[in-house]
Amino acid sequence: MKQSGSGTDFAIRASAFCAVVFFASGIIYPFLPVWLAARGLADTELAAVLAAPLFLRPILTAPLAALTDRFRNLAHAAAAFAFAAGIAFACLGAVHGFWPTLVLTALAIMLWNFLIPLSDAVNLVGVRDHGLVYARLRIWGSFAFIVASLITAAAIRLIALPGVFLLLTATFLIGGVISLAVPEVGPSLPSRDGIGWRTAFSEPVIRRAFLGASCTVGSHGAYYTFASLYWHSIGFSAFSIAAMWAVSVTAELLVLWVVGRIPQPGARRCLVAGALVAVLRWAFFPFAVAPGAALLLQALHAITFAFNHIGVMRAIGSVSAPGHTARLQALYQLTSGLVLAVATLAAGPLYRLSPAYAFSVMALLAGAGLFFSFPLERGLHPQRDVPGGETIAPS
């Protein structure tokens, strides 16, 4: 298919698409749990609603990818998913109760989250065909996340929690319009003919890195679901909560900027650091009730998430055969997503008993990540560039 436009035109349209995708994330992560709780969901129900898209991901990714292939170009597919997400979420305004909320929320978030790999595919084509710098495209997503969290806080201050519903619905639908301007890139999704878990896990480096990194990612389950509710319960304002999430995203960006300019740590060092700091972060999280202490723990997201992601990408790059890197990355995303889904679901009843119980179990899960990562050999570095190795969704 014909590649669209000049490098500048491509960069503008790809950056706009990336920005709107992560603008929604800047509403979902900080404030969707708070809005759902205000609709009357119990802690266990809230955890189930937010875990559902994670469980659906390995089931629906292949059908959605096949559906994408049936469209004339990526823009039409992205627009269809965005509009469908907006319609599904808008229906929440007319229904109540756990099951309708579970089905509609899971459907909307699953469809919207599928735009993330589509945005990555567009960005990587820009790097390959137009000589663009990946980080300069991707950074607009992080900026959009921060702006969205602050705008949502302002909306809550003006019209209370219904502002979350209205703003997120509008973002989904506006995202559908913006998606129509996505550059034509032709078939860009990775092949779905993947390596199976058995084959991948037969390689010790992959097995240890996947298990270690997935446990560390999974340890964020209580954080993604209940952090904003916890901060709200101890008196933090909507703007303070937005600032907490903005700090975590800013810290990720700083890590990615610094890592590219210093001697490169190996996979083991990154994974061990991410797991060890996650143990400390979650152990102290329920006791950080002062804003300054909470901000300090949020800054550690740069290590518990970004370092962990860099580590597993470097482990993949150190052993993957040509043509297998994207497949191993996809397999890792499925593995870590399932662990995160289980941890999110488990966090519900634990948080209901006590926030300290939920985050203590998350610290134990991060400890399991340390257990799996520590035996990795030192000095594991990619044998070649790893496509998408710095593709981190703001969180």
Mark whether 145 and 242 lie in a shared domain.
no
Mark whether 215 and 178 lie in a shared domain.
no
Residue 191 has pLDDT above 70, yes or no: no
Mark whether 148 and 203 lie in a shared domain.
no
What is the per-residue pLDDT across 44-93, written as a single tens digit (0 to 9) for each? 999 999 999 999 988 887 788 788 878 878 899 999 999 999 999 999 99
Contacts of 72 (CB under 8 A, 6+ apart): none
- Separation between Cα atoms, residue 344 and residue 50, nearest integer Å: 7
Expressed as residue numbers, the domain containing 346 is 196-385
> Best-predicted range by mean pLDDT among 29-38, 120-129, 195-204, 327-336?
29-38
What is the per-residue pLDDT across 323-358, written as a single tens digit (0 to 9) for each? 566 677 778 888 999 999 999 999 999 999 999 999
Measured CA to CA in angstroms, residue 337 lies from 95, 118, 144, 311, 320 at distances of 29, 18, 24, 17, 21
Determine how many CB atoms are found less than 10 A away from the CB of residue 2.
8
Rounded mean pLDDT, 194-218: 84
Number of domains comprising the chain: 2
pTM exceeds 0.85 for this model: yes
Residue pair 373/271 in contact (Cβ under 8 Å)? The answer is yes
Residue 394, in any domain of the structure: no
Mark whether 347 and 233 lie in a shared domain.
yes
Residue finishing a domain among 127, 152, 185:
185
Residue 395 has pLDDT above 50, yes or no: no
- Separation between Cα atoms, residue 295 and residue 203, nearest integer Å: 39
Residue 2, in any domain of the structure: no
- Separation between Cα atoms, residue 180 and residue 329, nearest integer Å: 28
What is the per-residue pLDDT across 308-325, written as a single tens digit (0 to 9) for each? 988 888 888 787 665 566
- Separation between Cα atoms, residue 262 and residue 244, nearest integer Å: 27
Residue 395, in any domain of the structure: no
The pLDDT of residue 322: 56
What is the per-residue pLDDT across 122-155, written as a single tens digit (0 to 9) for each? 887 787 788 887 667 878 988 999 999 999 999 9
Contacts of 26 (CB under 8 A, 6+ apart): 144, 145, 146, 147, 148, 149, 152, 245, 394
The enclosing domain of 35 has a CATH number of 1.20.1250.20
Query: Quick one: how many helices (H) and strands (E) in the chain?
Result: 17, 0
SS3 call for 395: coil
